[in-house]
Amino acid sequence: MLDIEKELKDKLLKFNDTLKKRYKNGSGFNVTLLNLLEQHVGRLTKLSRLAPQQVAAIAPKGIVAVDGSINTAGSSYPHYVAVMRSMAQSTFACHEPIYKYEIYSPLFEDKDVDINAEVDGVPAAVQDENRRSAHMACLEIEAAIEAIERMAPSVLMMDGSLAQFRIKCRDTWEKLYRLVLERDVLLIGVVEEIKTAIIKQALKDYLPDDMKDMYDRELIFGILSPGQMLAIDEDCLGQGKLGLAACFMRTSMDPHPIAMDMPAEQSDHMEDMAALVYALTPQDGRGIPLWLDMVDNQVRITNQMMEALIDEYIDADLRHRLLVAKRQNRDI
Q: What is the pLDDT of residues 268-286, one digit of tens each?
A: 999 999 999 999 999 999 8
Q: How far is CA 273 from CA 95, 106, 188, 216, 222, in A?
A: 22, 39, 8, 21, 22
pLDDT confidence of residue 47: 96
- Give the whole-angstrom CA distance, residue 114 versus residue 21: 45
pLDDT one-digit tens code per residue, 37-74: 999 999 999 999 999 999 999 999 999 999 999 999 98
- C-alpha to C-alpha distance for 269 and 58, rounded to whole angstroms: 10
- Above 70 in pLDDT, residue 222? yes
pLDDT for res 89? 98
pTM of the model: 0.90
Cα angle 325, 126, 121 (rounded to 5 degrees) comes to: 135
pLDDT tens for 299-330 read 999 999 999 999 998 888 888 887 776 555 54
Q: Which residues pair with 72 in a beta bridge?
A: 82
Residue pLDDT, tens place only, 152-210: 999 999 999 999 999 999 999 999 999 999 999 999 999 999 999 999 999 999 998 88
